[in-house]
Structure 1
Amino acid sequence: MHASFVAPLWQWEARTESWWFVSVPADVSDELADLPVPPRGFGSIRVRVTVGSTTWQTSVFPSDRERGYVLPMKKAVRTKESLTPREPVAVTLETVDL
């Protein structure tokens, strides 16, 4: 699966020192939920992500609060790509290891 979307960067209230996310839109989350993937920790799905000039592998995680998947945004990416809270982030996401 391959998808591109734009969504704001937000901080998780429970761990404000380091946990930042982008919510995966509902239509993309629905596609992810329908994939025949092996069970992984916390229901995660391995993905390759590109934001700006940075590409890395991580996982997206289901979120009841967001009613879909969330993509963690590590500090190195936020810094390199000059991402700021609540500002839109252009994301390209593709599943890996399916």
Structure 2
Amino acid sequence: MSESLSAALPLTRWQGDRGIYHLVTFTGAEAEVIAMHARLHRLEFGKQRGFGSVKIVARIGETEWKSSVFPQAKQSEWVLLISKKVMQLEQLSCGDTVPVTLTF
């Protein structure tokens, strides 16, 4: 199984109770790869991480950071939050198509 995953995804804005968040959503084949890593972690360690998340190192452009992706809709979608700092460093705006690489 691959240790990394790359996709070009739209940057979306979500208004929550505690503020505004920017994120990208992995679906389809990319979501299946992430779900498989979550299942392998559960088999290896006998439990899942908080909220069913998967630890990753994310990369957009020249910016790299440690984070987690979180399952949505029974693991058919996975969400990666994008911080304001990353958005500023990479000059991103809501609606931009963002090339994201995840390393597991």
Structures share fold, TM-score greater than 0.5? yes
How far does residue 13 in structure 1 lie from its aligned partner after superposition?
Answer: 2.8
Runs of 4+ in 1 over 3 A off after TM superposition: 15-18
TM-score (structure 1 length as normaliser): 0.87
Indicate whether 1:74 and 2:102 are aligned.
no
Indicate whether 1:24 and 2:63 are aligned.
no
> Which structure would you say has the larger Rg?
2
How far does residue 19 in structure 1 lie from its aligned partner after superposition?
Answer: 1.2
TM-score (structure 2 length as normaliser): 0.82
How far does residue 92 in structure 1 lie from its aligned partner after superposition?
Answer: 0.8
Structure 1 residue ranges without an equivalent (≥5): none
**Identity %, equivalent residues:** 29
Structure with the larger helix share: 2
Determine the C-alpha separation between the residues in 2 that align with 1:15 and 1:89.
25
Determine the C-alpha separation between the residues in 2 that align with 1:94 and 1:87.
22
Q: CA RMSD in A?
A: 1.9
- Which residue does the alignment assign to 1:37? 41
Structure 2 residue ranges without an equivalent (≥5): 43-47
Structure with the larger strand share: 2
